[in-house]
Structure 1
Amino acid sequence: MAQKLSLNLPSADDLFSSQEEREDAQREKVVDLPISEIDDFPDHPYPVEMDEEMQNTVESVKAYGVHTPALVRPKEDGRYEMVSGHRRKMASTLAGLDTMPCIVRQMSHDEATIIMVDSNLQREKIPPSSKAKAYKMKLEAMKRQGQRTDLTSTPLEQKLDRKYSVEIVGEKSGDSREQVRRYIRLTELIPEILKMVDTGKIAMRPAVELSYLPAEQQKSLLDTMEAEDCTPSHAQSIKLRQFSQEGRLDENVVLSIMQEEKPNQKEQFKIPREKISRFFAPGTPTQKIEDTIIKALELWKQRERNRDTR
């Protein structure tokens, strides 16, 4: 049986184009693309808001155009997907432009995800919810590219260039490995509680503890927070998580924990130091002053008690 002869023949394009033309075709160019043909990145984690900064950007685009080209990748349907430049796209649209300068780059979805996340991490104001979603998207993209990203068992994480994958995720913004873990935990919060983290009503540390509660228990907690007009402290959040893990967290327990007095809610009595400084030698430690006052009050109370029994 005759074997087929396989010939690596050049394509028609290679036959009828020069080396310079072929090299030029491989180079990335800045081209003006119709804005209507550019789709936003799927599940883009960074909100594009109509704030004062955006208004300034719109005015700049109207006056000078878009200076920095956006980065897009071609889609199979002939359209383009925005990788970096969502704010410039909105500004261009609001400025009345039909096209914007873009660099078209061939890349996979995972490669685009990593670039999209990194290109936005240097922004000054990023809501915790956006950073949480972005970190998770990047970590998952790295995992699909074959990098071990086990978040629950640190010793098993594969080291890349002597760095853990979660360190690589956060290094663009300067966040530590543990901080990246905390941000990713926020993605387990229900939207209503996550929004409270964005607005500063709930701090990061208690929010991370609350992220371990199942969604139904988070909803129960949300109802209690709204009814009692309060938010959990870090200590209360730890207690809520412990009761949940023990299978003992219900509506009554949630209410009981949330009604506990927080340390910063306890009434404190303060005496101006200048009023008592004459009773103590200069440089006397505050704790010693406090102990001496308590002891003096106990002696006074004992004397009053003895006087009443005479």
Structure 2
Amino acid sequence: METTNQNNLDEIISQDTEKINNDEQTKSEIVYIEVDKLHPHDANPRKNTGDVTELADSIKKNGILQNLTVVPATGYWYGDYTVIIGHRRLAAAKQAGLKTVPCVIREMGQKEQIATMLLENMQRSDLTVYEQAQGIQMMLDLGETVETVAEKTGFSESTVRRRTRLLKLDSDVFKETEGRQITMLEYDKLFEIKDDKKRNEVLKSIGTNNFNNEILRAVQAEKTTEIRKKFFEDLNEYAEEVKDTTGLVYIGWFDNTKNITDYSIPECTKLYYRSYGSGVGVSLYRSTTADEKQAEQEKTEQENKIKEERDSKIRKLKELAERTYTLRRNFVKDFTLNEKATSKNLQNFIITALLEDNDFDIEKFIEMLDVEYDEDDLDEMQGVREVYERSNKTLQNKMVIAGYVLYNDRKTNDCYDYTGNHRENESLQRLYDGLITIGYEMSDEELAMMDGTHELYTTEDE
């Protein structure tokens, strides 16, 4: 390519030299122009002349060996000259302290100026690929075509297109990454990504060990997005998206509209889907058939009936617990020693029934009776016996009430769980056993409540 560029450049120079020689009005000789009257071309593809220290040292020692090519300036700098070839030499000459530099004054149109600068820089490998792209774009903006730019620069048409598309990249990020020795093939990979914003994000990783992975992730994400878009376009032709799937029949996970025939879908039903996240695939549902609706309605009615019956039974079980509590409470409230409720039986009720319960508080029990006793010499069982033996009948009656209260019997002392099934209640059974010893007689309903045979309890069939 360098040979082709050189040939094109030689051809332009040769043609221009011939033109100059034949034009008496154009100065073809080398003239020395003051450096202050020479100005960089604002369209120079090379945006940075770089470090010219070494070149400046050479100029100090040997002078400028190759003249600059300039054109008459226009506009603000009218009367001065604009540099076409030799921007670095001009910068080095200024650094070396030269007041004038050798120049050839040429007449060129804007297109020719840009083409000449582009070729001169490229054949010296002075331009970055981004600067090459900017130079090519300038030529295109001036009316050149890809074909004519390729012809004048020696680049292939493919290279011209590949260069100019680099201008789609973020220039600031591009400049930050240029020092990583990046190949053109790596830049080409970026354009596998279609989204400009994502492409510039991945550009940040070019020339690093993460670049290929970032490219692959971005490309796959775009492919997934495209597949997802097409998938939903096809899906929406025969299914409707929903958020609430209540009352619908789940068909299965669905990620390919071509496989819709794989599912057994009854006629006269409508399809629905619910999507999740950003991937491809949905949960597919359908409406219910008339038979399914009838079956579902019957099932719901049956479930509601069972629930109503269960709630009714639980409500009645609660009433039963409250009623049996009232029976026990009234017995204790009206308790007096009698033939059945002897002192011995009363003592057994207190000791064997109440003290076996872990919740029974002996100290509170004694406090309620207001009887003095020696705590240090007697354990709890002996303390109760001694208290009982030292008590008169009034106190003994009071002991039944005190013991019962401390036992914490309550309305919710029941024998069923939340479903209405029978549940054993050992503490309540102990209380009944104790009350029976002092004359309490359990009703048939209480016996059925305790042993689980009451008609209100839910059976396994229910």
Relative to structure 1, is the Cα distance of residues 117 and 99 closer, same or farther in structure 2, using a 3 angstrom cutoff?
A: same
Superposition deviation, residue 82 in structure 1: 0.9
Q: Does 1:60 align with 2:43?
A: no
In the alignment, what sits opposite 1:167?
Answer: 150
Relative to structure 1, is the Cα distance of residues 88 and 121 closer, same or farther in structure 2, using a 3 angstrom cutoff?
A: same
Q: TM-score, normalised by structure 2?
A: 0.38
SS of corresponding position for 2:180:
coil
Residue 73 of structure 2 aligns with an amino acid whose one-letter code is K
Counterpart contact for 1:169–1:180, Cα < 8 Å: no
Q: Does 1:187 align with 2:170?
A: no
Superposition deviation, residue 37 in structure 1: 1.5
In the alignment, what sits opposite 1:113?
Answer: 114
Q: TM-score, normalised by structure 1?
A: 0.55
The C-alpha deviation readout for 1:171-212, integer Å capped at 9, x for no partner, is 1xxx43222221111121102442355223654234234356
Counterpart contact for 1:206–1:232, Cα < 8 Å: no
- Partners of 1:55 and 1:78 lie apart in 2 by 30
Superposition deviation, residue 100 in structure 1: 0.9
Q: Number of residue pairs matched?
A: 204
Superposition deviation, residue 79 in structure 1: 2.0
In the alignment, what sits opposite 1:100?
Answer: 101
SS of corresponding position for 2:211:
coil
In the alignment, what sits opposite 1:42?
Answer: 42
Counterpart contact for 1:69–1:100, Cα < 8 Å: yes
Relative to structure 1, is the Cα distance of residues 166 and 75 closer, same or farther in structure 2, using a 3 angstrom cutoff?
A: closer
- Partners of 1:241 and 1:118 lie apart in 2 by 40
Residue 90 of structure 1 aligns with an amino acid whose one-letter code is A
SS of corresponding position for 2:108:
coil
- Partners of 1:203 and 1:96 lie apart in 2 by 39
In the alignment, what sits opposite 1:285?
Answer: none
- Partners of 1:245 and 1:117 lie apart in 2 by 41
Counterpart contact for 1:139–1:169, Cα < 8 Å: no
SS of corresponding position for 2:45:
coil
Residue 217 of structure 1 aligns with an amino acid whose one-letter code is K
In the alignment, what sits opposite 1:300?
Answer: none
Q: How does 1:102-251 map to 2 (within 5 A)?
A: 102-141=103-142, 143=143, 147=144, 149=145, 164-171=147-154, 175-195=155-175, 198-200=178-180, 202-210=182-190, 213=194, 215-221=196-202, 225=205, 230-232=210-212, 236=216, 239=219, 242-243=222-223, 246=226
Relative to structure 1, is the Cα distance of residues 220 and 235 closer, same or farther in structure 2, using a 3 angstrom cutoff?
A: closer
Superposition deviation, residue 244 in structure 1: 10
SS of corresponding position for 1:207:
helix
Stretch moving more, 189-198 or 230-239: 230-239
Counterpart contact for 1:196–1:202, Cα < 8 Å: no
Q: Per chain length, whose mean CA-contact separation is higher, i.e. which structure has more relative contact order (CA < 8 Å, sep 6+)?
A: 1
- Partners of 1:41 and 1:237 lie apart in 2 by 43
Counterpart contact for 2:40–2:87, Cα < 8 Å: yes
- Partners of 1:23 and 1:231 lie apart in 2 by 56
| Runs of 4+ in structure 1 over 4 Å off | 211-215, 240-248
- Partners of 1:120 and 1:234 lie apart in 2 by 34
Ranges in structure 2 where 5+ consecutive residues have no aligned partner = 1-21, 229-276, 279-462
Stretch moving more, 36-45 or 81-90: 36-45
- Partners of 1:208 and 1:245 lie apart in 2 by 22
SS of corresponding position for 1:100:
strand
In the alignment, what sits opposite 1:19?
Answer: none
Relative to structure 1, is the Cα distance of residues 27 and 237 closer, same or farther in structure 2, using a 3 angstrom cutoff?
A: farther
The C-alpha deviation readout for 1:218-261, integer Å capped at 9, x for no partner, is 454467x49x983246962881795599499xxx99xxxxxxxx
In the alignment, what sits opposite 2:88?
Answer: 87
Superposition deviation, residue 61 in structure 1: 0.9
Name the larger-Rg structure.
Answer: 2
- Partners of 2:202 and 2:214 lie apart in 1 by 14
Residue 198 of structure 1 aligns with an amino acid whose one-letter code is E
Relative to structure 1, is the Cα distance of residues 105 and 233 closer, same or farther in structure 2, using a 3 angstrom cutoff?
A: farther
The C-alpha deviation readout for 1:110-133, integer Å capped at 9, x for no partner, is 221111111111114532222222
RMSD in angstroms over aligned alpha carbons?
Answer: 3.7
Counterpart contact for 2:137–2:164, Cα < 8 Å: yes
Residue 140 of structure 1 aligns with an amino acid whose one-letter code is D
In the alignment, what sits opposite 2:33?
Answer: 33
Superposition deviation, residue 102 in structure 1: 1.0
- Partners of 2:105 and 2:173 lie apart in 1 by 39
SS of corresponding position for 1:83:
strand
